């Protein structure tokens, strides 16, 4: 009651925050307001990929075998396919044509179920509508029902309704989409012809039988690609002759969970080989769970091969980088309900994909190695050579010794690796969760430091006095950096991961730790060493399958997918009250293992914050100062009452 009384007694709050304050962003307005949340605003290249991917999805589904892409001299782009053509009939609920619905509504599409697109990269349903929102002009011509249709948009709004422009002379179908990106949204206004060529060529490799042409009007050059032998042919084009295997190791498997295809070889010397991964033909330059599973599957096979033949010298162990050092590979995965980190889809986050790829690669590669023992031994020798070089290099790395400073905290369970680039520290909320984390970790490169409850709010404190707090003292000694110092040369870990409960208290603790590092260890944040681990809040069981959900929206999304797939059996939902409720196996699978965990890297532009600047000189500093500064209670209350009230109308 006291909280409500304090709010109700604030007449200024009553006047400034009411129903009229709530803003509803309709249609495509959220995209135009904050384009960076929906696409890469460095250049319009990502818009091109969204349109191209729609046509490629038609090819994956078996309805198209030809795509033409034209880059005009006026910086407009046209994509033409011979697929089914975008739908022109009226949607029964929205009462507008299918094409208009797709182009003007976020989260509208045919890719949320498996009815029309079994495998698709465009699972968010926002891709092509984002293109419309960020284009000055967009025109679509559709061939369908023996008729040609046209619809035109400007700045995301329809200016020419869907109309029949002529009767088609044949029964061909397809879609032509031409758009002029609004250059005011992008740092670099021009499309990259080279990047487009690379992406289009890769599409044909990953979709055998698909023919793609690209015409650049500026250079007057035309390119055409069509691969009949897929990944193997593409890898051979991009690998030197001096390889471990005479012919690439290739495979193509399919299970109920999805399809995995690959082509792999190793060079005897490191020569900067090709390494490309794709999900539903979407390039994933930042990798993700499919690449994690791929890497661990290869490593498991090599370890097994070496162990069976007693090839590993004493004191030498194989790490993932030992087999990835000289590798050249193309990995293509097709799965339903692919989840990406962000709308730009540069990293796959679907946790189950790691196990899918790992099992398929491991089994196939183990069989191949045992059938080709001479080549397998050559690869093992190469991996062992890399491991010896890595171990020798790591011994030269100076890690802060306890003899030159305070003893390491007794609660710290340190890792054994001396390779600084691999070492990770988990700052864990509570002793109970700390115990589970110690059992779940890989003690070779993962360290654990349990913290007791909420640490001191250090935002208003000087760096010279915060070491009086035992928890902060332990953190400082464990990481090897003194608060307020710009010298992080003795930093003992490459990754510092904050691991707290997924509830509101846990988020508060994570915020206090983030404030500690931003305010007193800014160089650690600036250099990208600070991460937030994302444990799930829910476990969902149905039949023999287990799903984990990060939060309430993801839980609802998973349940919808389960119902859509019409799985039998009762759905059981468990809400984790804290990390201590998770057994070590669950914690390892969801939060600790690099193959399947979710980590958010905390980053900011160096120009935004430099230690010691006044709040007026830094947006990041001002926000944190308002949230945590003791003198800003009034501003903080106003912010809580007035912010977070923007709702996207889906």
Q: What is the pLDDT of residue 25?
A: 54
Q: Which two tokens stand for residue 151?
A: 């619809």
pTM: 0.64
pLDDT (tens digit, 9 = 90+) per residue, 311-327? Answer: 988 888 888 888 998 89
Evaluate whether 413 touches 352 at the Cβ level (below 8 Å).
Answer: no
Can you tell me the mean pLDDT for 565-592? 82
Distance CA 224, CA 177 (A): 19
Instruction: Kindly provide the b/e burial profile for residues 275-310, where b requires at least 16 CB atoms within 10 angstroms of the residue's own CB.
Output: bbbbbbbbbbeebbbbbbbbbbbbbbbbbebbeeee
Can you say whether the dihedral through the CA atoms of 603, 608, 613, 619 is positive or negative?
negative
Helix (H, G, I), strand (E, B) or coil at 541: strand
Residue 29 is a catalytic residue = no
Residue 166 is a catalytic residue = no
Helix (H, G, I), strand (E, B) or coil at 104: helix
- Considering the candidates 78, 321, 505, 554, report the single residue annotated as catalytic: 505
Residue 14: pLDDT over 60: no
Residue 503 is a catalytic residue = yes
- Considering the candidates 23, 217, 503, 551, report the single residue annotated as catalytic: 503
pLDDT (tens digit, 9 = 90+) per residue, 199-257? Answer: 898 888 888 889 999 999 989 999 999 887 788 888 888 888 788 998 999 999 988 78
Residue 114: pLDDT over 70: no
- Considering the candidates 429, 471, 526, 589, report the single residue annotated as catalytic: 429
Can you tell me the mean pLDDT for 629-633? 77
* SS3 sequence of 186-228: CCCCCCCHHHHHHHHHHHHHHCCCCEEEEEECCCCEEEEECCC
Q: Residue count of the chain, please give it.
A: 650
Distance CA 612, CA 466 (A): 16
Evaluate whether 119 touches 334 at the Cβ level (below 8 Å).
Answer: yes
pLDDT (tens digit, 9 = 90+) per residue, 70-82? Answer: 999 999 999 999 9
Can you tell me the mean pLDDT for 368-376? 91
Residue 501 is a catalytic residue = yes
pLDDT (tens digit, 9 = 90+) per residue, 412-468? Answer: 999 988 888 889 999 998 777 888 889 999 998 999 999 887 888 888 888 878 888
- Considering the candidates 501, 589, 595, 625, report the single residue annotated as catalytic: 501
Can you tell me the mean pLDDT for 494-517? 87
Can you tell me the mean pLDDT for 20-31? 58
Q: Which two tokens stand for residue 583?
A: 């057994």
Evaluate whether 387 touches 306 at the Cβ level (below 8 Å).
Answer: no
């Amino acid at each position: 009651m006291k909280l409500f009384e304090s709010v109700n007694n604030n007449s200024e709050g009553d006047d400034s925050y009411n129903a009229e304050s709530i803003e509803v962003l309709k249609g495509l307005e959220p995209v135009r307001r904050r384009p960076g949340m929906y696409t890469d605003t460095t250049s319009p290249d990502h818009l091109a990929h969204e349109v191209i991917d729609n046509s490629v999805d038609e090819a994956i589904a078996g309805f198209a075998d030809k795509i033409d892409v034209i880059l005009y001299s006026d910086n407009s782009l046209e994509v033409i396919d011979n697929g089914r053509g975008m739908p022109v009939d009226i949607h029964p609920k929205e009462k507008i044509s299918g094409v208009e619905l797709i182009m003007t509504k976020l989260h509208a599409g045919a890719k949320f179920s498996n009815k029309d697109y079994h495998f698709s990269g465009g699972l968010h349903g926002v891709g092509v509508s984002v293109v419309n929102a960020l284009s000055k002009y967009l025109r679509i011509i559709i061939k369908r029902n023996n008729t040609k249709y046209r619809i035109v948009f400007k700045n995301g709004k329809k200016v020419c309704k869907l109309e029949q422009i002529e009767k088609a002379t044949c029964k061909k179908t397809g879609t032509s989409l031409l758009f002029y990106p609004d250059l005011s949204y992008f740092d670099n206004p021009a499309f990259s012809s080279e990047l487009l060529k690379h992406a289009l060529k890769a599409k044909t490799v990953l979709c055998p039988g698909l023919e793609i042409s690209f015409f650049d009007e500026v250079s007057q050059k035309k390119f055409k690609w069509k691969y009949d032998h897929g990944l193997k042919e593409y890898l051979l084009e991009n690998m030197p002759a001096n390889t471990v295997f005479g012919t690439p190791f290739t495979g193509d498997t399919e299970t109920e969970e999805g399809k995995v295809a690959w082509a792999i070889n190793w060079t005897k010397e490191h020569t900067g080989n090709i390494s490309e991964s794709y999900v539903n033909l979407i390039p994933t330059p930042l990798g993700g769970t499919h690449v994690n599973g791929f890497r661990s599957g290869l490593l498991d096979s090599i370890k097994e091969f070496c162990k069976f033949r007693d090839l590993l010298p004493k004191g030498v162990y194989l790490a993932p980088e030992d087999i990835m050092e000289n590798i050249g590979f193309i990995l293509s995965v097709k799965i339903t309900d692919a989840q990406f980190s962000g709308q730009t889809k540069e990293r796959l986050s679907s946790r189950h994909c790691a196990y899918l790829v790992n099992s398929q690669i491991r089994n196939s590669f183990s069989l191949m190695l045992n059938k080709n023992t001479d080549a397998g031994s050559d690869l093992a020798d190469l991996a062992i050579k890399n491991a010896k070089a890595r171990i020798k290099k790591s011994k030269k790395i100076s890690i802060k010794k306890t003899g030159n400073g305070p003893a390491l905290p007794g609660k710290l369970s340190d890792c054994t690796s001396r390779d600084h680039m691999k070492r990770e520290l988990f700052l864990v909320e509570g002793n109970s969760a700390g115990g589970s984390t110690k059992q779940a970790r890989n003690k070779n490169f993962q360290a654990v430091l349990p913290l007791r409850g909420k640490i001191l709010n250090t935002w208003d404190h000087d760096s010279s006095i915060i070491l009086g707090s035992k928890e902060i003292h332990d953190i400082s000694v464990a990481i090897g950096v003194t608060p307020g110092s710009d010298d992080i040369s003795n930093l003992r870990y490459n990754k510092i991961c904050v691991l707290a409960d997924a509830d509101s208290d846990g988020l508060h603790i994570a915020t206090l730790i983030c404030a500690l590092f931003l305010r007193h260890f800014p160089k650690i944040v600036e250099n990208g060493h600070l991460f937030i681990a994302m444990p799930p809040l829910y476990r969902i069981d149905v039949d023999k399958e287990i799903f984990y959900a990060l939060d309430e929206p993801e839980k609802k999304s998973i349940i919808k997918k389960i119902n859509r797939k019409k799985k039998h059996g009762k759905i059981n939902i468990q809400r984790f009250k804290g990390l201590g409720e998770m057994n070590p196996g669950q914690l390892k699978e969801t939060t600790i293992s690099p193959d399947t965990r979710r980590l958010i890297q905390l980053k900011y532009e160096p120009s935004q914050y430099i230690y010691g600047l006044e709040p007026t000189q830094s947006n990041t500093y001002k926000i944190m100062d308002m949230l945590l500064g003791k003198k800003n209670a009034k501003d903080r209350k106003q912010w809580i009452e007035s912010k977070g009230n923007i709702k996207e109308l889906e």
